[in-house]
Amino acid sequence: MLRHKYREELNCNELMLLPYYVASMNIEHAFWDATGDYEAFEGICLVDTFETAEKTQRAFDVFNGANTARVQQQRKAPIKVIVANPPYNAGQIQENDNNKNRKYEEIDRRVRVTYAADSQATLVRKLSDPYVKAIRFAADRIGDAGVVCYVNNDSFVAEKSFDGMRKHLGKDRDSIRYNEFLSLAGIPQETFDYRLGNRSALEWVIDQYRVTRDEHGKITSDPNRDDDEQYIVRLVGQVITVSLETRRIVAGLPPFTI
Ligand SMILES: C[S@@+](CC[C@H](N)C(=O)[O-])C[C@H]1O[C@@H](n2cnc3c(N)ncnc32)[C@H](O)[C@@H]1O
Protein backbone atom coordinates (compact mmCIF):
# COMPACT_ATOMS: atom_id res chain seq x y z
CA MET A 1 0.00 0.00 0.00
CA LEU A 2 2.64 2.52 1.08
CA ARG A 3 4.89 1.57 -1.84
CA HIS A 4 2.01 2.00 -4.24
CA LYS A 5 1.17 5.43 -2.80
CA TYR A 6 4.83 6.45 -2.96
CA ARG A 7 5.31 5.27 -6.54
CA GLU A 8 1.96 6.13 -8.07
CA GLU A 9 -0.02 8.63 -6.05
CA LEU A 10 2.25 10.97 -4.12
CA ASN A 11 3.12 14.27 -5.81
CA CYS A 12 5.27 17.15 -4.67
CA ASN A 13 6.04 20.50 -6.27
CA GLU A 14 8.79 23.00 -5.62
CA LEU A 15 9.74 26.10 -7.53
CA MET A 16 13.30 26.69 -6.34
CA LEU A 17 16.16 24.31 -6.91
CA LEU A 18 17.63 24.03 -3.41
CA PRO A 19 14.30 23.43 -1.61
CA TYR A 20 13.44 21.00 -4.42
CA TYR A 21 16.44 18.84 -3.46
CA VAL A 22 15.71 19.23 0.26
CA ALA A 23 12.09 18.16 -0.26
CA SER A 24 13.15 15.23 -2.41
CA MET A 25 15.65 14.02 0.21
CA ASN A 26 13.12 14.44 3.03
CA ILE A 27 10.49 12.39 1.21
CA GLU A 28 12.97 9.66 0.27
CA HIS A 29 14.21 9.59 3.85
CA ALA A 30 10.68 9.27 5.23
CA PHE A 31 10.11 6.34 2.86
CA TRP A 32 13.38 4.74 3.92
CA ASP A 33 12.39 5.24 7.58
CA ALA A 34 9.03 3.56 6.99
CA THR A 35 10.19 0.66 4.80
CA GLY A 36 13.94 0.25 5.34
CA ASP A 37 14.45 0.63 1.55
CA TYR A 38 15.87 3.44 -0.51
CA GLU A 39 13.86 4.19 -3.61
CA ALA A 40 14.20 7.36 -5.69
CA PHE A 41 11.04 9.46 -5.40
CA GLU A 42 9.70 10.16 -8.87
CA GLY A 43 6.68 12.21 -7.93
CA ILE A 44 8.54 15.45 -7.35
CA CYS A 45 8.39 18.21 -9.96
CA LEU A 46 10.39 21.38 -10.35
CA VAL A 47 7.44 23.51 -11.30
CA ASP A 48 5.33 26.49 -10.37
CA THR A 49 2.23 24.82 -8.90
CA PHE A 50 -0.03 27.69 -9.92
CA GLU A 51 0.98 27.30 -13.55
CA THR A 52 -0.24 23.72 -13.50
CA ALA A 53 -3.76 25.17 -13.20
CA GLU A 54 -3.48 27.08 -16.48
CA LYS A 55 -5.95 25.83 -19.06
CA THR A 56 -3.69 26.25 -22.02
CA GLN A 57 -0.78 23.92 -21.89
CA ARG A 58 2.47 25.70 -21.20
CA ALA A 59 5.91 24.37 -21.91
CA PHE A 60 6.76 22.91 -18.49
CA ASP A 61 10.25 22.24 -19.75
CA VAL A 62 12.12 23.48 -16.72
CA PHE A 63 15.05 21.24 -15.87
CA ASN A 64 14.62 18.39 -18.39
CA GLY A 65 12.18 16.23 -20.32
CA ALA A 66 11.62 13.83 -17.42
CA ASN A 67 10.49 16.74 -15.26
CA THR A 68 8.10 17.88 -17.99
CA ALA A 69 6.65 14.36 -18.24
CA ARG A 70 6.09 14.26 -14.46
CA VAL A 71 4.32 17.61 -14.52
CA GLN A 72 2.04 16.48 -17.32
CA GLN A 73 1.26 13.28 -15.45
CA GLN A 74 0.47 15.24 -12.29
CA ARG A 75 -1.84 17.57 -14.20
CA LYS A 76 -3.94 14.57 -15.22
CA ALA A 77 -3.90 12.89 -11.78
CA PRO A 78 -6.96 13.05 -9.53
CA ILE A 79 -5.77 14.79 -6.36
CA LYS A 80 -7.91 14.64 -3.23
CA VAL A 81 -5.47 15.61 -0.47
CA ILE A 82 -3.25 18.69 -0.57
CA VAL A 83 -0.78 19.42 2.21
CA ALA A 84 1.46 22.49 2.03
CA ASN A 85 3.17 25.39 3.70
CA PRO A 86 2.38 27.90 0.94
CA PRO A 87 4.28 31.15 0.40
CA TYR A 88 2.84 34.47 1.50
CA ASN A 89 4.03 37.95 0.64
CA ALA A 90 1.25 40.51 0.86
CA GLY A 91 2.14 43.86 -0.68
CA GLN A 92 5.15 42.42 -2.49
CA ILE A 93 7.12 42.11 0.75
CA GLN A 94 9.04 38.91 0.64
CA GLU A 95 8.25 37.00 3.79
CA ASN A 96 9.75 33.63 3.35
CA ASP A 97 10.93 33.00 -0.15
CA ASN A 98 12.03 34.71 -3.30
CA ASN A 99 8.75 34.36 -5.06
CA LYS A 100 7.46 37.82 -5.94
CA ASN A 101 3.81 38.11 -6.88
CA ARG A 102 3.50 36.78 -10.39
CA LYS A 103 0.59 36.88 -12.78
CA TYR A 104 -1.33 33.68 -13.36
CA GLU A 105 -4.13 33.95 -15.84
CA GLU A 106 -6.31 31.13 -14.53
CA ILE A 107 -5.81 31.37 -10.76
CA ASP A 108 -6.02 35.17 -10.84
CA ARG A 109 -9.24 34.87 -12.81
CA ARG A 110 -10.68 32.36 -10.31
CA VAL A 111 -9.80 34.64 -7.38
CA ARG A 112 -11.37 37.56 -9.23
CA VAL A 113 -14.67 35.86 -10.06
CA THR A 114 -15.07 34.30 -6.61
CA TYR A 115 -13.33 35.91 -3.61
CA ALA A 116 -13.09 39.42 -5.15
CA ALA A 117 -16.52 39.37 -6.85
CA ASP A 118 -18.28 38.47 -3.59
CA SER A 119 -16.45 41.02 -1.46
CA GLN A 120 -18.09 44.19 -0.13
CA ALA A 121 -14.66 45.75 0.45
CA THR A 122 -13.47 48.55 -1.83
CA LEU A 123 -9.85 47.44 -1.60
CA VAL A 124 -9.17 43.82 -2.43
CA ARG A 125 -5.46 44.17 -3.24
CA LYS A 126 -4.65 41.72 -0.44
CA LEU A 127 -6.32 38.98 -2.45
CA SER A 128 -3.30 38.98 -4.74
CA ASP A 129 -1.25 37.38 -1.97
CA PRO A 130 0.12 33.97 -3.03
CA TYR A 131 -1.41 32.33 0.03
CA VAL A 132 -4.85 33.27 -1.31
CA LYS A 133 -3.93 31.79 -4.68
CA ALA A 134 -2.80 28.64 -2.87
CA ILE A 135 -6.20 28.28 -1.18
CA ARG A 136 -8.03 28.96 -4.45
CA PHE A 137 -5.79 26.49 -6.27
CA ALA A 138 -6.38 23.73 -3.71
CA ALA A 139 -10.15 24.28 -3.47
CA ASP A 140 -10.39 23.98 -7.27
CA ARG A 141 -7.90 21.15 -7.60
CA ILE A 142 -9.61 18.72 -5.21
CA GLY A 143 -12.94 19.18 -7.00
CA ASP A 144 -16.11 18.21 -5.16
CA ALA A 145 -14.49 16.64 -2.12
CA GLY A 146 -11.10 16.27 -0.49
CA VAL A 147 -8.86 17.53 2.26
CA VAL A 148 -6.71 20.68 2.23
CA CYS A 149 -4.23 21.08 5.04
CA TYR A 150 -2.18 24.28 5.01
CA VAL A 151 0.19 26.08 7.35
CA ASN A 152 -1.24 29.49 6.70
CA ASN A 153 -1.33 33.19 7.21
CA ASP A 154 -4.62 33.77 9.06
CA SER A 155 -5.51 37.29 7.88
CA PHE A 156 -8.43 35.81 5.94
CA VAL A 157 -10.18 34.91 9.23
CA ALA A 158 -11.17 38.45 10.18
CA GLU A 159 -9.90 41.12 7.75
CA LYS A 160 -12.45 43.05 5.70
CA SER A 161 -10.88 42.44 2.26
CA PHE A 162 -11.31 38.70 2.74
CA ASP A 163 -15.09 38.75 3.28
CA GLY A 164 -15.77 37.26 -0.17
CA MET A 165 -13.17 34.60 0.43
CA ARG A 166 -14.77 33.69 3.77
CA LYS A 167 -18.13 33.28 2.04
CA HIS A 168 -16.62 30.83 -0.42
CA LEU A 169 -14.64 28.93 2.18
CA GLY A 170 -17.85 28.58 4.17
CA LYS A 171 -19.49 26.95 1.18
CA ASP A 172 -16.46 24.76 0.51
CA ARG A 173 -16.54 22.98 3.86
CA ASP A 174 -19.28 20.70 5.03
CA SER A 175 -17.65 18.01 7.13
CA ILE A 176 -15.64 17.48 10.30
CA ARG A 177 -13.06 14.78 10.54
CA TYR A 178 -13.47 13.56 14.11
CA ASN A 179 -10.79 10.89 14.04
CA GLU A 180 -9.35 8.44 11.52
CA PHE A 181 -12.52 6.34 11.62
CA LEU A 182 -15.25 8.93 11.81
CA SER A 183 -16.11 12.00 9.74
CA LEU A 184 -19.31 13.93 10.16
CA ALA A 185 -20.48 15.06 6.74
CA GLY A 186 -23.34 17.11 5.31
CA ILE A 187 -23.13 19.98 7.81
CA PRO A 188 -25.51 22.71 6.56
CA GLN A 189 -23.68 25.92 5.63
CA GLU A 190 -26.09 28.08 7.69
CA THR A 191 -24.57 26.45 10.78
CA PHE A 192 -21.53 28.69 10.30
CA ASP A 193 -23.68 31.84 10.27
CA TYR A 194 -24.42 31.53 13.99
CA ARG A 195 -21.36 33.30 15.32
CA LEU A 196 -19.86 34.01 18.71
CA GLY A 197 -17.50 36.93 18.09
CA ASN A 198 -15.42 36.21 15.02
CA ARG A 199 -16.15 32.46 14.96
CA SER A 200 -19.15 30.28 14.46
CA ALA A 201 -20.36 28.40 17.54
CA LEU A 202 -19.41 25.13 15.85
CA GLU A 203 -15.82 26.30 15.22
CA TRP A 204 -15.64 27.42 18.84
CA VAL A 205 -16.69 23.99 20.08
CA ILE A 206 -14.27 22.23 17.74
CA ASP A 207 -11.51 24.43 19.07
CA GLN A 208 -12.39 23.75 22.73
CA TYR A 209 -12.68 20.02 22.24
CA ARG A 210 -9.33 19.31 20.62
CA VAL A 211 -6.79 17.02 22.17
CA THR A 212 -3.95 19.39 23.09
CA ARG A 213 -0.51 18.90 24.53
CA ASP A 214 1.54 21.53 26.36
CA GLU A 215 4.66 22.85 24.67
CA HIS A 216 6.93 20.39 26.48
CA GLY A 217 4.66 17.53 25.48
CA LYS A 218 4.17 16.46 29.10
CA ILE A 219 0.60 17.42 29.88
CA THR A 220 -2.18 16.30 27.56
CA SER A 221 -5.65 17.69 27.70
CA ASP A 222 -8.02 15.15 26.21
CA PRO A 223 -11.72 16.08 26.25
CA ASN A 224 -12.78 12.58 25.13
CA ARG A 225 -14.74 10.77 27.85
CA ASP A 226 -14.02 7.13 28.55
CA ASP A 227 -17.44 6.76 30.17
CA ASP A 228 -19.29 8.29 27.20
CA GLU A 229 -17.47 7.85 23.90
CA GLN A 230 -20.19 9.47 21.83
CA TYR A 231 -20.31 12.62 23.92
CA ILE A 232 -18.45 14.92 21.50
CA VAL A 233 -20.24 13.62 18.43
CA ARG A 234 -23.56 14.27 20.21
CA LEU A 235 -22.36 17.70 21.28
CA VAL A 236 -21.49 18.61 17.67
CA GLY A 237 -25.01 17.58 16.62
CA GLN A 238 -26.53 19.69 19.40
CA VAL A 239 -24.48 22.74 18.46
CA ILE A 240 -25.51 22.38 14.82
CA THR A 241 -29.17 22.16 15.88
CA VAL A 242 -28.89 25.18 18.20
CA SER A 243 -27.13 27.18 15.45
CA LEU A 244 -29.76 26.40 12.82
CA GLU A 245 -32.70 26.94 15.18
CA THR A 246 -31.30 30.24 16.45
CA ARG A 247 -30.85 31.46 12.87
CA ARG A 248 -34.40 30.40 12.05
CA ILE A 249 -35.90 32.14 15.11
CA VAL A 250 -33.90 35.33 14.56
CA ALA A 251 -34.90 35.43 10.88
CA GLY A 252 -38.58 35.13 11.91
CA LEU A 253 -38.53 37.97 14.46
CA PRO A 254 -40.54 41.10 13.60
CA PRO A 255 -38.53 44.31 13.04
CA PHE A 256 -37.54 46.04 16.29
CA THR A 257 -39.47 49.22 16.98
CA ILE A 258 -39.19 51.61 19.91
C1 LIG B 1 6.86 28.70 3.26
S2 LIG B 1 8.03 27.80 2.32
C3 LIG B 1 7.81 26.16 2.90
C4 LIG B 1 9.06 25.34 2.83
C5 LIG B 1 8.92 23.91 3.33
N6 LIG B 1 8.01 23.14 2.46
C7 LIG B 1 8.43 23.87 4.76
O8 LIG B 1 7.26 23.51 4.99
O9 LIG B 1 9.19 24.24 5.65
C10 LIG B 1 7.24 27.85 0.76
C11 LIG B 1 7.96 27.02 -0.31
O12 LIG B 1 7.14 27.02 -1.46
C13 LIG B 1 7.93 27.23 -2.62
N14 LIG B 1 7.05 27.88 -3.58
C15 LIG B 1 6.65 29.18 -3.59
N16 LIG B 1 5.79 29.41 -4.58
C17 LIG B 1 5.65 28.23 -5.24
C18 LIG B 1 4.89 27.84 -6.38
N19 LIG B 1 4.11 28.73 -7.03
N20 LIG B 1 4.98 26.56 -6.80
C21 LIG B 1 5.76 25.66 -6.14
N22 LIG B 1 6.50 25.98 -5.04
C23 LIG B 1 6.45 27.24 -4.60
C24 LIG B 1 9.08 28.10 -2.14
O25 LIG B 1 10.22 27.97 -2.98
C26 LIG B 1 9.31 27.59 -0.73
O27 LIG B 1 10.27 26.56 -0.71
For 133, the domain range is 79-172
> Quick one: which atom of ligand 1 is closest to the CA of 13?
21
| Cβ pair 87, 96 in contact under 8 A | yes
Residue finishing a domain among 77, 108, 128: 77
Q: Domain tally for the chain?
A: 3
pLDDT tens digit at each of 258 positions of the chain? 899 999 999 999 999 999 999 999 999 999 999 999 999 999 999 999 999 998 765 655 666 888 989 999 999 999 999 999 998 875 544 544 455 567 899 999 999 999 999 898 888 888 989 999 999 999 999 987 788 888 887 788 778 889 899 888 877 777 777 776 777 777 887 888 888 877 789 888 888 888 888 878 788 888 888 888 888 889 999 999 999 999 999 999 998 887
Cα gap 254→258, rounded to integer Å? 12
85 plus 168 within the same structural domain: yes
Q: For 143-251, where are the E strands, in sequence order? A: 147-150, 176-177, 183-184, 195-196, 199-200, 212-213, 220-221
Kindly state if the Cβ of 13 falls inside 6 Å of ligand 1: yes
**CA–centroid distance, residue 106 to ligand 1 (Å):** 20
| Pair type for strands 12-14 and 44-46 | parallel
DSSP state of 187: -
Sequence-distant (≥ 6) Cβ neighbours of residue 117 within 8 angstroms: 164
User: Is there an atom of ligand 1 within 6 Å of 50 CB?
Assistant: yes
- Sign of the dihedral through C-alpha 198, 200, 205, 207: negative
Of the residues 137, 172, 207, which one is the last residue of a structural domain? 172
**Tell me, what amino acid is at 69?**
A
Read off the pTM. Answer: 0.73
Of 60, 77, 94, which one is at a domain's C-terminal end?
A: 77
Is residue 57 included in any domain, yes or no?
Answer: yes
Q: Is residue 2 part of a domain?
A: no
The dihedral sign for the CA sequence 133, 89, 147, 167: negative
With respect to residue 88, please indicate whether it lies within any of the assigned structural domains: yes
Does any domain span residue 1? Answer: no
